[in-house]
Amino acid sequence: MKSILIITLLSLFLISMKSDKPAYCLFNDKGKPTSYQTLLEEAAKADIVMFGELHNVSICHWLQLELTKDLYQLKGKKLILGAEMFETDNQLLINEYLSGSIKEKNFETEVKLWPNYKTDYKPLLNFAKDSSLHFIATNVPRRYASMVNKSGFEALDNLDQEAYRLIADRPIAFDPELGCYKNMLKEMGESEHVSQTITMAQALKDATMAQSILRNWTAGSTFLHFNGTYHSDNYEGIVWYLKKSAPTLRILTISTVEQTDPVKLSEDQEGKGDYIIVIPEAMSRTY
Protein backbone atom coordinates (compact mmCIF):
# COMPACT_ATOMS: atom_id res chain seq x y z
CA MET A 1 0.00 0.00 0.00
CA LYS A 2 2.84 2.36 0.91
CA SER A 3 4.62 1.74 -2.41
CA ILE A 4 1.41 2.45 -4.32
CA LEU A 5 1.03 5.76 -2.47
CA ILE A 6 4.63 6.75 -3.26
CA ILE A 7 4.19 5.93 -6.95
CA THR A 8 0.95 7.92 -7.05
CA LEU A 9 2.52 10.96 -5.40
CA LEU A 10 5.51 10.81 -7.74
CA SER A 11 3.20 10.57 -10.75
CA LEU A 12 1.25 13.60 -9.55
CA PHE A 13 4.53 15.47 -9.03
CA LEU A 14 5.71 14.69 -12.56
CA ILE A 15 2.33 15.64 -14.04
CA SER A 16 2.32 18.95 -12.19
CA MET A 17 5.89 19.69 -13.31
CA LYS A 18 4.93 18.97 -16.90
CA SER A 19 1.94 21.28 -16.82
CA ASP A 20 4.01 24.03 -15.19
CA LYS A 21 6.61 24.02 -18.01
CA PRO A 22 9.61 24.28 -15.65
CA ALA A 23 12.68 26.21 -16.75
CA TYR A 24 14.80 23.37 -15.41
CA CYS A 25 14.52 20.14 -13.43
CA LEU A 26 17.13 18.78 -11.05
CA PHE A 27 18.09 15.14 -10.57
CA ASN A 28 20.64 13.18 -8.60
CA ASP A 29 23.16 10.83 -10.20
CA LYS A 30 20.63 7.99 -10.14
CA GLY A 31 18.08 10.00 -12.13
CA LYS A 32 15.80 10.67 -9.16
CA PRO A 33 14.21 14.13 -8.79
CA THR A 34 15.86 16.23 -6.11
CA SER A 35 15.78 19.82 -4.86
CA TYR A 36 17.96 22.87 -5.14
CA GLN A 37 18.12 23.02 -1.34
CA THR A 38 19.62 19.54 -1.24
CA LEU A 39 22.19 20.54 -3.86
CA LEU A 40 23.06 23.69 -1.88
CA GLU A 41 23.55 21.82 1.37
CA GLU A 42 25.78 19.22 -0.28
CA ALA A 43 27.76 21.88 -2.15
CA ALA A 44 28.49 23.69 1.12
CA LYS A 45 30.06 20.49 2.49
CA ALA A 46 32.25 19.94 -0.55
CA ASP A 47 35.85 21.07 -0.96
CA ILE A 48 35.39 21.63 -4.68
CA VAL A 49 32.19 22.11 -6.68
CA MET A 50 32.41 21.74 -10.44
CA PHE A 51 29.50 23.53 -12.11
CA GLY A 52 29.36 22.18 -15.65
CA GLU A 53 27.48 24.60 -17.88
CA LEU A 54 26.22 24.82 -21.42
CA HIS A 55 27.98 28.03 -22.40
CA ASN A 56 25.14 29.74 -24.26
CA VAL A 57 22.12 28.68 -22.17
CA SER A 58 20.70 31.49 -20.05
CA ILE A 59 19.34 29.39 -17.21
CA CYS A 60 22.81 27.95 -16.48
CA HIS A 61 24.21 31.37 -15.76
CA TRP A 62 21.25 32.38 -13.60
CA LEU A 63 21.68 29.21 -11.55
CA GLN A 64 25.41 29.79 -11.23
CA LEU A 65 24.86 33.23 -9.77
CA GLU A 66 22.11 32.00 -7.44
CA LEU A 67 24.30 29.16 -6.18
CA THR A 68 27.18 31.59 -5.68
CA LYS A 69 25.01 33.94 -3.63
CA ASP A 70 23.57 31.15 -1.51
CA LEU A 71 26.94 29.50 -0.89
CA TYR A 72 28.30 32.88 0.16
CA GLN A 73 25.56 33.10 2.79
CA LEU A 74 26.73 29.74 4.16
CA LYS A 75 30.50 29.98 3.65
CA GLY A 76 31.30 33.67 3.67
CA LYS A 77 34.95 34.37 2.86
CA LYS A 78 35.59 30.64 2.75
CA LEU A 79 34.04 30.60 -0.71
CA ILE A 80 36.48 30.80 -3.63
CA LEU A 81 35.36 31.28 -7.22
CA GLY A 82 37.13 30.29 -10.41
CA ALA A 83 36.34 29.78 -14.08
CA GLU A 84 37.45 28.22 -17.33
CA MET A 85 36.50 31.46 -19.05
CA PHE A 86 39.56 33.30 -17.74
CA GLU A 87 43.16 32.34 -18.52
CA THR A 88 45.98 32.19 -16.00
CA ASP A 89 47.95 35.01 -17.60
CA ASN A 90 45.04 37.36 -16.84
CA GLN A 91 45.06 36.73 -13.08
CA LEU A 92 46.87 39.96 -12.30
CA LEU A 93 44.27 41.98 -14.21
CA ILE A 94 41.48 40.19 -12.37
CA ASN A 95 43.14 40.88 -9.01
CA GLU A 96 43.57 44.53 -9.88
CA TYR A 97 39.94 44.82 -10.94
CA LEU A 98 38.63 43.06 -7.84
CA SER A 99 40.69 45.29 -5.57
CA GLY A 100 39.53 48.45 -7.37
CA SER A 101 43.03 49.30 -8.52
CA ILE A 102 41.96 49.58 -12.15
CA LYS A 103 38.76 50.80 -13.70
CA GLU A 104 36.21 48.51 -15.29
CA LYS A 105 36.86 50.05 -18.71
CA ASN A 106 40.58 49.30 -18.50
CA PHE A 107 39.95 45.78 -17.28
CA GLU A 108 37.52 44.95 -20.06
CA THR A 109 39.83 46.43 -22.69
CA GLU A 110 42.91 44.49 -21.63
CA VAL A 111 41.66 41.12 -20.39
CA LYS A 112 40.72 38.29 -22.78
CA LEU A 113 36.94 38.05 -22.55
CA TRP A 114 34.48 35.57 -23.99
CA PRO A 115 31.79 37.08 -26.27
CA ASN A 116 29.10 36.46 -23.63
CA TYR A 117 31.12 37.92 -20.77
CA LYS A 118 28.86 40.88 -20.04
CA THR A 119 25.65 38.85 -19.82
CA ASP A 120 26.97 35.62 -18.31
CA TYR A 121 30.26 36.00 -16.43
CA LYS A 122 30.47 39.66 -15.47
CA PRO A 123 27.74 39.20 -12.79
CA LEU A 124 29.85 36.45 -11.18
CA LEU A 125 33.03 38.52 -11.26
CA ASN A 126 31.23 41.56 -9.87
CA PHE A 127 29.71 39.50 -7.08
CA ALA A 128 33.23 38.45 -6.15
CA LYS A 129 34.29 42.10 -6.27
CA ASP A 130 31.40 43.30 -4.11
CA SER A 131 31.89 40.45 -1.63
CA SER A 132 35.70 40.62 -1.48
CA LEU A 133 36.04 37.04 -2.72
CA HIS A 134 38.93 35.58 -4.66
CA PHE A 135 38.19 34.81 -8.31
CA ILE A 136 40.72 32.55 -9.98
CA ALA A 137 41.52 32.45 -13.69
CA THR A 138 42.11 28.72 -14.12
CA ASN A 139 42.43 27.98 -17.83
CA VAL A 140 45.65 27.64 -19.79
CA PRO A 141 46.49 30.57 -22.08
CA ARG A 142 45.06 29.65 -25.46
CA ARG A 143 48.40 30.10 -27.25
CA TYR A 144 49.83 27.10 -25.39
CA ALA A 145 46.78 24.96 -26.09
CA SER A 146 47.16 25.91 -29.75
CA MET A 147 50.81 24.84 -29.72
CA VAL A 148 49.91 21.44 -28.25
CA ASN A 149 47.04 21.08 -30.70
CA LYS A 150 49.55 21.46 -33.51
CA SER A 151 52.54 19.50 -32.22
CA GLY A 152 51.65 17.64 -29.03
CA PHE A 153 53.07 18.10 -25.52
CA GLU A 154 56.61 18.37 -26.86
CA ALA A 155 55.71 21.86 -28.08
CA LEU A 156 55.93 23.00 -24.44
CA ASP A 157 59.53 21.87 -23.94
CA ASN A 158 61.31 25.08 -24.91
CA LEU A 159 59.15 27.75 -23.33
CA ASP A 160 60.53 30.52 -21.15
CA GLN A 161 60.55 29.61 -17.46
CA GLU A 162 57.93 32.30 -16.80
CA ALA A 163 55.52 30.45 -19.07
CA TYR A 164 55.62 27.34 -16.91
CA ARG A 165 53.93 29.24 -14.08
CA LEU A 166 50.88 29.51 -16.31
CA ILE A 167 50.43 25.85 -17.22
CA ALA A 168 50.14 22.52 -15.41
CA ASP A 169 53.38 20.95 -14.23
CA ARG A 170 55.11 18.78 -16.78
CA PRO A 171 55.10 16.01 -17.76
CA ILE A 172 51.38 16.29 -18.38
CA ALA A 173 49.62 13.09 -17.36
CA PHE A 174 47.44 11.93 -20.23
CA ASP A 175 45.09 8.99 -20.67
CA PRO A 176 43.80 8.89 -24.27
CA GLU A 177 41.37 6.14 -23.26
CA LEU A 178 39.33 8.44 -21.05
CA GLY A 179 35.80 8.68 -22.44
CA CYS A 180 35.90 12.47 -22.75
CA TYR A 181 38.92 12.33 -25.06
CA LYS A 182 37.85 9.29 -27.04
CA ASN A 183 34.42 10.83 -27.61
CA MET A 184 35.98 14.09 -28.73
CA LEU A 185 37.88 12.32 -31.50
CA LYS A 186 34.80 10.35 -32.43
CA GLU A 187 32.60 13.44 -32.63
CA MET A 188 35.13 15.25 -34.81
CA GLY A 189 35.19 12.34 -37.22
CA GLU A 190 37.98 10.51 -38.94
CA SER A 191 40.10 12.68 -41.20
CA GLU A 192 43.69 13.58 -41.84
CA HIS A 193 43.11 16.86 -40.01
CA VAL A 194 42.02 15.18 -36.76
CA SER A 195 44.73 13.69 -34.56
CA GLN A 196 45.42 12.81 -30.95
CA THR A 197 47.03 16.22 -30.43
CA ILE A 198 43.55 17.76 -30.33
CA THR A 199 42.76 15.76 -27.22
CA MET A 200 46.19 16.56 -25.79
CA ALA A 201 45.28 20.25 -26.03
CA GLN A 202 42.03 19.49 -24.20
CA ALA A 203 43.98 17.57 -21.57
CA LEU A 204 46.35 20.52 -21.13
CA LYS A 205 43.34 22.71 -20.37
CA ASP A 206 41.91 20.16 -17.94
CA ALA A 207 45.24 19.64 -16.17
CA THR A 208 45.90 23.36 -15.88
CA MET A 209 42.43 24.07 -14.53
CA ALA A 210 42.79 21.29 -11.97
CA GLN A 211 46.16 22.58 -10.82
CA SER A 212 44.90 26.17 -10.67
CA ILE A 213 42.06 25.00 -8.43
CA LEU A 214 44.36 23.03 -6.13
CA ARG A 215 46.86 25.86 -5.87
CA ASN A 216 44.16 28.22 -4.63
CA TRP A 217 41.94 25.94 -2.55
CA THR A 218 42.46 26.07 1.22
CA ALA A 219 41.28 23.61 3.87
CA GLY A 220 37.77 24.43 5.12
CA SER A 221 36.88 26.42 2.01
CA THR A 222 34.65 25.57 -0.94
CA PHE A 223 36.02 26.28 -4.41
CA LEU A 224 33.16 26.82 -6.85
CA HIS A 225 34.41 26.36 -10.40
CA PHE A 226 32.52 27.23 -13.58
CA ASN A 227 33.35 25.28 -16.70
CA GLY A 228 31.83 23.74 -19.77
CA THR A 229 30.04 20.59 -18.70
CA TYR A 230 32.24 18.48 -20.99
CA HIS A 231 35.24 19.31 -18.79
CA SER A 232 33.75 17.55 -15.76
CA ASP A 233 31.03 15.16 -16.99
CA ASN A 234 31.33 11.54 -15.88
CA TYR A 235 33.97 12.62 -13.33
CA GLU A 236 36.52 12.93 -16.13
CA GLY A 237 38.44 15.88 -17.55
CA ILE A 238 39.30 18.30 -14.73
CA VAL A 239 37.92 15.93 -12.11
CA TRP A 240 40.24 13.13 -13.25
CA TYR A 241 43.23 15.41 -12.70
CA LEU A 242 41.93 16.63 -9.34
CA LYS A 243 41.49 13.08 -8.07
CA LYS A 244 44.88 12.05 -9.40
CA SER A 245 46.58 14.84 -7.42
CA ALA A 246 44.33 14.95 -4.34
CA PRO A 247 42.24 11.79 -4.04
CA THR A 248 40.85 12.63 -0.59
CA LEU A 249 39.19 15.89 -1.58
CA ARG A 250 35.40 15.99 -1.52
CA ILE A 251 34.42 16.90 -5.07
CA LEU A 252 30.82 17.53 -6.10
CA THR A 253 29.96 17.75 -9.78
CA ILE A 254 27.01 19.39 -11.49
CA SER A 255 26.24 18.45 -15.07
CA THR A 256 23.88 20.23 -17.45
CA VAL A 257 21.96 18.52 -20.23
CA GLU A 258 19.19 19.46 -22.64
CA GLN A 259 16.08 17.43 -23.36
CA THR A 260 12.85 18.01 -25.22
CA ASP A 261 11.04 17.08 -22.00
CA PRO A 262 12.99 18.07 -18.86
CA VAL A 263 10.68 16.36 -16.37
CA LYS A 264 12.25 12.90 -16.56
CA LEU A 265 15.96 12.31 -16.94
CA SER A 266 16.90 10.08 -19.85
CA GLU A 267 18.69 6.92 -18.76
CA ASP A 268 21.70 7.72 -20.90
CA GLN A 269 22.21 10.95 -18.92
CA GLU A 270 22.30 9.25 -15.52
CA GLY A 271 25.62 9.33 -13.72
CA LYS A 272 27.05 12.31 -15.61
CA GLY A 273 27.38 14.15 -12.32
CA ASP A 274 26.34 14.11 -8.69
CA TYR A 275 23.57 16.49 -9.72
CA ILE A 276 22.18 16.87 -13.21
CA ILE A 277 20.33 19.96 -14.39
CA VAL A 278 17.94 19.23 -17.23
CA ILE A 279 16.98 22.21 -19.37
CA PRO A 280 14.36 22.33 -22.13
CA GLU A 281 15.91 22.38 -25.57
CA ALA A 282 13.84 25.48 -26.34
CA MET A 283 15.52 27.51 -23.57
CA SER A 284 16.67 30.97 -24.67
CA ARG A 285 20.32 31.47 -25.62
CA THR A 286 22.74 34.24 -24.85
CA TYR A 287 24.38 33.85 -28.27
Tens digit of each residue's pLDDT (9 = 90 or more) over 243-282: 999 999 999 999 999 999 999 999 999 999 999 999 999 8
**Are the beta carbons of 103 and 164 closer than 8 angstroms?**
no
Tens digit of each residue's pLDDT (9 = 90 or more) over 127-138: 999 999 999 999
Backbone angles phi and psi of 275, in degrees to 5:
-130, 140
The number of residues making up the chain comes to 287
- The Cα 164–Cα 161 span in angstroms is 5
Tens digit of each residue's pLDDT (9 = 90 or more) over 181-194: 999 998 887 555 56
Percent of the chain with pLDDT over 90: 87
Higher pLDDT: 188 or 206? It is 206
**Are the beta carbons of 15 and 22 closer than 8 angstroms?**
no
- The Cα 165–Cα 226 span in angstroms is 22
Q: What does the pLDDT read at residue 260?
A: 94
**Are the beta carbons of 52 and 238 closer than 8 angstroms?**
no
User: What global pTM score does this model have?
Assistant: 0.91
- What average pLDDT does the segment 99-104 reach? 98
